[in-house]
Amino acid sequence: MLLSCVLVLSGSLGMLVQAAPDAAPLAQAGKVNLNQPQAVQRALHEQLREWYRVPNRVGGLSKSGVDCSGFAYLTYKEYFGIRLPRTTRQQAQVGMGISKADLRPGDLVFFRTGFVRRHVGMYTGKGRFIHASTSRGVTESRLDNPYWRRNYWKAVRVRL
């Protein structure tokens, strides 16, 4: 059985991320380039239209229900050819930390929504992000919404 691994640089330290045994290569031909913000923005809005209001379901990875990390996982895999780890906790450790002021479409945004609970979404630009909300299903929200502003934790840029 072949396991693929990816070295993700975060600051001056690297982190080894082990992908699933059946994982495809990190980047695939024909996928949206994360370095092209307008193309990324279009891809994310397309994904939002396709998944809009799909209900939140812990552990879900289908249109009958998806959780926040599953939605990010599926979006990155389908549109960008990148296999993120499956959980929010693991996703928060991948990539390079960036400031809120430096956000670009496709960056992952993280929130502390409970004592140990975390939430992830994908920045779409103009102060907005898409995510699988526990109350509204897959939707787009504003970072300056009082709830999200109060619970904002960090942002991560995933790059090849």
Whole-angstrom Cα distance, residue 106 to residue 42? 10
Q: Kindly name the residue from 83, 118, 119, 128 that is annotated as catalytic.
A: 119
The total number of residues written for the chain in this structure: 160
5 catalytic, yes or no?
no
Q: Kindly name the residue from 32, 34, 68, 72 that is annotated as catalytic.
A: 68
Q: Which residue carries 């959780």 as its tokens?
A: 67
Whole-angstrom Cα distance, residue 64 to residue 62? 5
Q: Kindly name the residue from 84, 131, 156, 158 that is annotated as catalytic.
A: 131
Residue type, 18: Q
68 catalytic, yes or no?
yes
Residues annotated as catalytic (active site), given as ranges: 68, 119, 131
